[in-house]
């Protein structure tokens, strides 16, 4: 692991029951305040783990977040996982993952039960009528924000891949799993070849 990557952190804690409880509590409270998921977690996690607890330093935090974003899955879960693993091995990883997933599990379980009761209520239907248009705007604006850096690169390949993806998914209705798997394979081969070529020059 990155354990011996950037040297010993300043205050690596003693691993005992109290530490596990503390780790669990820290990730639990972090998770409660991560609305909408994703990148918000990074600044919050830094504040807790680096500034308040002093468990890791900034350099390690940066490495962990790169790892968390490179791995598939939710960034919040990946981030908690890698910090927990760094601090206390597999057990630490499990404790911090549990701390991260329990709040959304409890909240969404309650909402799921409540939703099935009220989904046909006229007030709820009316509210969701308005919110559905907003959520479409949220998702399309996110995709627009993600598209801009692709366009700014001024390279043909990313735009071409975007168009191929769009045609495959929206027009041809091709299974998204198939599209993702072929894209990952393509990207692995392309990256290996282009890196090799650059090193050869």
Partner 1 sequence: MSLLLSLFFSFFQIGLFSIGGGYAAMPLIQHQTVILHSWLTPTQFADLVTISAMTPGPIAINSATFVGMKVAGIPGVVVATLGNVLPSLIIMLILAHLYKKYSEQTLLKRILEGVRPVVVAAIFTAGLALLQLALNSFSKPDIFALVVFVVAFICLDSKRIKIGPIILLALGAIVGIGWAYVTNAL
Residue 20 or 85: the one with the smaller Cβ distance to partner 1 is 85
CB of 58 to partner 1, least distance (A): 17
Query: What element of type H or E holds 81?
Result: helix 75-118
Residue 16 or 106: the one with the smaller Cβ distance to partner 1 is 106
Residue 16 or 151: the one with the smaller Cβ distance to partner 1 is 151
Instruction: Identify the burial level of 15 via C-beta atoms within 10 angstroms of its C-beta, where 0-12 means exposed, 13-18 middle and 19 or more buried.
Output: middle
Nearest to 84 by CA among 66, 96, 98: 96
Contact criterion met (CB below 8 Å) for 80 and 100:
yes
Nearest to 13 by CA among 81, 92, 76, 78: 92
Nearest to 8 by CA among 48, 43, 54: 54
Dist. CA 169–CA 82, nearest whole Å = 33
CB of 128 to partner 1, least distance (A): 6
Residue 14 or 112: the one with the smaller Cβ distance to partner 1 is 112
């Amino acid at each position: 692991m990155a354990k011996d990557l950037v040297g010993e952190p300043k205050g690596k804690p003693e691993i005992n029951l109290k530490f596990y409880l503390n780790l669990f509590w820290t990730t639990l409270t972090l998770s409660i305040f991560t609305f909408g998921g994703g990148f918000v977690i990074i600044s919050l996690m830094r504040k807790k783990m680096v500034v308040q607890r002093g468990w890791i330093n900034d350099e390690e935090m940066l490495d962990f977040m790169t790892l968390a974003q490179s791995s598939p899955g939710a960034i919040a879960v990946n981030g908690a996982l890698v910090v927990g693993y760094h601090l206390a091995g597999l057990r630490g990883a499990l404790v911090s993952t549990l701390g991260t997933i329990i709040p959304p599990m409890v909240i969404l379980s309650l909402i799921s039960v409540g939703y099935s009761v009220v989904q046909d209520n006229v007030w709820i239907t009316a509210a969701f009528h308005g919110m559905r248009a907003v959520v479409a705007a949220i998702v399309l604006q996110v995709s627009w924000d993600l598209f801009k850096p692709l366009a700014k690169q001024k390279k043909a390949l990313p735009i071409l891949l975007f168009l191929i993806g769009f045609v495959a998914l929206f027009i041809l209705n091709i299974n998204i799993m198939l599209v993702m798997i072929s894209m990952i394979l393509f990207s692995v081969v392309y990256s290996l070849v282009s890196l090799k070529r650059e090193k050869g020059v």
